[in-house]
Amino acid sequence: MNRFSKVIAAVGVIAGVLIVGAVLGWWGSRSPQPGGENVGPKSNSTALANADSNAASAIKKKLRSDYRKTRRTKPGTNANPAQASGSATNLTAEWEDKVDEILTSEGKDADKAKQMLALFPNLPEDGQEEVAQHLSNLVPDEDYAPLGKLLTDAKLPESVLDVLMADVLNRPNAVKLPTLLEVARNPQHPGASEAKGLLDLFLDPDEEYGNDWARWQTKMEQWLKENPD
């Protein structure tokens, strides 16, 4: 091989090395940076996805807040939505303040319970539900009668009746069973079926009594004599 040919070959090798180096450098610039951080369009896509997720979460929170504020507005009214929302918020703050005032007062539990019972009829559903929970803690077994009247009132919202039903199940049998019987015998009561099932569980009659409430009454009285609290 003459000298000229050797020079051409050497130049070719050097050019090849430079091309390979350039390719490797370009490829390296596309790889993730140290620390796991990505650059370019992929990073922008991730940031946009996170922003969308945060925005969606904020919107859902706002919708839940608006729903809580306006759910007490009666259908068919022509009130301005903003005014209705403000009224509902003020109503909530008002009864919550009254309940807090009663609970934090220096009075006896019996007096607090009387004030709660007087407040109860004028409260919205969520207010009645909260007050029912407080009453279940304040009212002793020997003074249960007013709570029993509430539990047997089929017109109360189911959420409130659920709280009162849970409470009566923690009362002595002499309080619990007569109240359950009153609930069971009212077919309009949302808890009638549940109350009847509980009576059947406690009293365990030898045969089906159906809706023969006189027989249920007799069986309950006999059972309470044999199983005093």
Q: How far apart are CA 128 and CA 145, in angstroms?
A: 17
Tokens of 106: 């220096």
The arithmetic mean of pLDDT across residues 183-200, rounded, is 97
pLDDT at residue 29 above 70?
A: no
Please give the pLDDT value at position 105: 92
Return mean pLDDT, the chain: 75
Please give the pLDDT value at position 42: 40
131 or 59: whose pLDDT is higher? 131
Residue spans of the domains in the chain: they are: 90-171, 173-229
The arithmetic mean of pLDDT across residues 47-60, rounded, is 44
Is 0.85 surpassed by the pTM of this model? no
pLDDT in tens, 92-106: 678 999 999 999 998
69 or 172: whose pLDDT is higher? 172
pLDDT at residue 9 above 60?
A: no
